[in-house]
Structure 1
Amino acid sequence: MTDSRHGSPTRRTVAAGALGLMAAPVSHAASRGERLVYVGGQADKDGQGIFAARLDLSAGKLTAIGVVAPLLRPTWLVAHPALPALYALSETGYGQGEQGKVHALKADPATGALTVISTVASGGGGPAHMSLDSEAGGLLVAHYGTGHVAALPVRGDGGLEPPVSVQANTGSGPSPQQHGPHAHAVLVDPTGRHALVADLGADRIFVHPYDAAAQTLGPASEASAVLPPGTGPRHMALHPTGRYLYLLSEITPEIHVYRLRGGQLELLQTLRAGGLPPINGAEVAVSPDGRFVYASIRVEDVIIVYEVDKVGGGLREIQRVPTGGKTPWSFGLDPSGRWLLVANQGSDTVTVLARNSASGRLTATGQELAVNRPTCLTFPAWG
């Protein structure tokens, strides 16, 4: 998410006033049968940033709340599982020696309003993705720009401390966007002792030892998985059982299924996901019941639905459905499992697809919301 084809600059600076920023008052209070959803995006204009809305769980209708935190390029968001806190990275820091930023924001679940608690350096240049560990005592950040992966402590009030551990990986590939390492996603494995890093530039899933108590990362181990040159690993999703990892690659749009055991990755299956040129694979997610996997393909503007083999974890494609927009950068399943929302970066829309929980299949609803260059969305558990 950091070169010109991703719509990102070669150099970014944080706008003055972004630190310690108070969100404007929000009057749209929560009601029964609604869920709060936050949307991050790439917009650089004044007044843009984290967008909030309410999803009607019975009708699938989105009602805008508006911009609740005008931060610069908050392209990835993560909600704390227990505290009313939201974390947003600013996809900045592309100049020599510069770093991106990560913001911790306190949320008002009743209104969606956000207030910045703390802002810290992310630990590298061009942050692209982040995730919380299972204890939510640490936030891990993957940096596309410099290839670094960093671990930041989460305070008791939900605020963030600066990185206490940063690891740099190496590697390259044959494609133009693979001149060096580009960490594109990071997840902590089910044991809580390993951080898995999908690196688009190095064609690897790096496996780092992780100490959740100290929020420290060790150098990548020999367990790191090597993918074919030019694959371009992008995003990953864990099966609810913790036994399988699903990786979606970008340059060669494929789904890779791995068995995961104690930080060891065993490749089980590779499926072609898209048929058109690069800049293709985008997001991957597993349904809460573990029966279905979903992937977005940007050039084709579709969501692919896969059925999961309940014995071996392998995938079988069962549907391709248009997203109703352009360039589906990311998507999210609402906690009820009835709706799948798509962040269509190319058409400035968030669209709603209805989901059949029994079959896993998706259908268009015609519901959409205008959001400037959306790239991700999250449903907080406390929303």
Structure 2
Amino acid sequence: MAEASTSYTLYIGSYGEAKDPTVHACRLDGGTGELSVFQKIAGIEQASFLAVHPAGSMLYAASETGETRGQSGGSVHALAIDPQSGELEVLGDQLTHGEHPCHVSLSFDRQSLYVSNYSGGNAAVFPLEADGQLSEPASALVSGEGELGPAADRQEKPHIHSAGPVPGTPFVYICDLGTDSVYMYRQSADGRSLLKAGTARLEPGTGPRHAAISAVRPYVYVAGELDSYVNVLRMDKETGILESVQRISGLPKEFAGTSWAADIHLSPDGRFLYMSNRGHDSIAVFAVNTDDGTLTAVEHCPTGGRTPRNFAISPDGSWLLAANQESGTIHSFRRNADSGKLDPAPASLRIPAPVCICFA
């Protein structure tokens, strides 16, 4: 349990125009769950996703637009993090070579930044300087391919939604909502390109969105946006090949409405999995079988608002913060380390259209 004096720095991205503050630097009180904003950054239109460099020196923000400075595609921004205050300084940006970038992540060796372009149907690889600066244009692009899924309104073409590096390996798993596929890539030795290793095809109409990748066991958990299922996949650590183990719904059996899965994360100890549901407006909680990676439903916790597009778990696992996009609120939940269950705290924070939470 976090001490009352414990404080965490985190960053929240939100949708908005360039004139609006779309990146918020915040503090979380580890004793009460209260959130406060200490800096607002404007100039980054539609800040859809954030990632912090493992060294804690840099924040990267995707600008989910279809056009940047008269050129087709979005952009990704680099912001320096002050090591004492946590305040941000915007350094610059690069074009992503694809429309509507919606996800950013760091390679396992910190050499590269991966940016997923949803409408562009591709992912861009950006080489990083030793200090994490984003000074070079993209060195490689990988594109979605294969048979499209059956949902004509959402799967009319490839839609790359995220790239997830596998801890301690050169493998990267890329989720393509449009083709119901998870592509397996191996990072090149210099970090400047990705080499195709295989494809895992999920059930038609799954719509793979994000993946939670275990750091200690060979399992990958993929959130299916379109069918609200979690897909449990076993990973061969030598080849990167994925094998389906289980599919389990993230919604209660009695729910008959419309809902789309969004974000997915493992607890720091890997014993519980969490997935957010937009429509049912809940966090689905699962217990992880540490022997075979399979899941058992624990509970569905309401997020206190509408459309929980994103959430994050504090580094010590004590708190889960849910970003409710349509209601413009961030809600704090105390997490029980033994049961995995979530207990809503009185604390909440209002930010227009929050869509990403990232702890420093």
2:21 match: 48
* Bigger strand share: 2
Cα deviation for residue 45 of structure 1 reads: 6.2
**Match for residue 113 of structure 1?**
87
Q: Counterpart of 1:323?
A: 303
CA contact (8 A) 2:167 2:215 kept: no
After superposition, where does 1:84-99 map in structure 2 within 5 Å? 84-93=57-66, 98-99=72-73
**Deviation at residue 190 of structure 1 after TM alignment:** 3.3
Change (3 A) 1:130 1:45: closer
Other structure's SS at 1:306 match: strand
Q: 1:311 — aligned with what?
A: 291
SS at 1:259 equivalent: strand
**Secondary structure at the residue paired with 1:224?**
strand
TM-score by length of 2: 0.92
**One-letter amino acid matched to 2:203:** P
Q: Say yes or no: does 1:228 pair with 2:215.
A: no
**Amino acid in the other structure paired with 1:178:** Q
Name the aligned partner's letter for residue 247 of structure 2. Answer: T
CA deviation profile, 1:348-370 (whole Å, cap 9, x unmatched) = 00110111112111011121000
Query: Which residue is equivalent to 1:174?
Result: 150
- Write the letter of the residue equivalent to 1:74: A
- The residue type paired with residue 287 of structure 2 is E
SS at match of 1:55: strand
- 1:249 aligned partner: 224
Aligned to 2:163, which of 148, 163, 186? 186
- Between Structure 1 and Structure 2, how many residues are aligned? 348
How far 1:278 moved relative to its partner? 5.1
| In structure 1, C-alpha distance between the alignment counterparts of 2:309 and 2:106, rounded to whole Å | 21
CA distance in 2, matches of 1:150, 1:47: 27
> Kindly tell me: are residues 62 and 191 of structure 1, through their superposed partners in 2, closer, same or farther at Cα, counting changes over 3 Å?
closer
- With the length of structure 1 as denominator, give the TM-score of the two structures: 0.87
| Alignment equivalent of 2:178, drawn from 201, 205, 208 | 201
- 1: CA distance, partners of 2:39 / 2:62: 19
Q: Does 1:300 align with 2:280?
A: yes
Q: Structure 1 189/79 Cα, relative in aligned 2: closer, same or farther at 3 Å?
A: same
Instruction: Tell me the CA shift for residue 212 of structure 1.
Output: 4.8
The answer as to whether partners of 2:258 and 2:280 remain within 8 angstroms in 1 is: no
CA contact (8 A) 1:37 1:379 kept: yes
Shift of 1:198: 0.6
Q: Is the 8 A contact 2:268 2:316 kept in 1?
A: no
Give the Cα–Cα distance (whole angstroms) in 2 for the partners of residues 373 and 72 of structure 1.
12
Shift of 1:149: 1.2
Pairs within 5 Å for 1:1-383: 33-44=6-17, 46-93=19-66, 98-160=72-134, 161-171=136-146, 172-175=148-151, 176-218=153-195, 220-221=196-197, 223-261=198-236, 262-274=239-251, 275-276=255-256, 280-380=260-360
Q: Deviations over 1:10-43 (max 9, x none)?
A: xxxxxxxxxxxxxxxxxxxxx9521111000112
Query: In 2, Cα distance between the equivalents of 1:165 and 1:154?
Result: 13
Q: Secondary structure at the match of 1:190?
A: coil
Equivalent pair of 1:276/1:299 in contact (CA under 8 Å): no
Is the partner of 1:71 in helix, strand or coil? coil
In 2: Cα distance, 1:276 partner to 1:77 partner:
33
* Structure 1 unaligned regions, length at least 5: 1-30
Question: Structure 2 CA distance, aligned partners of 1:60 and 1:170?
Answer: 43
Please tell me whether the aligned partners of residues 181 and 200 of structure 1 are also in contact (alpha carbons under 8 angstroms): yes
| TM-fit CA distance, 1:277 | 5.1
| 8 Å CA contact retained: 1:192, 1:212 | no
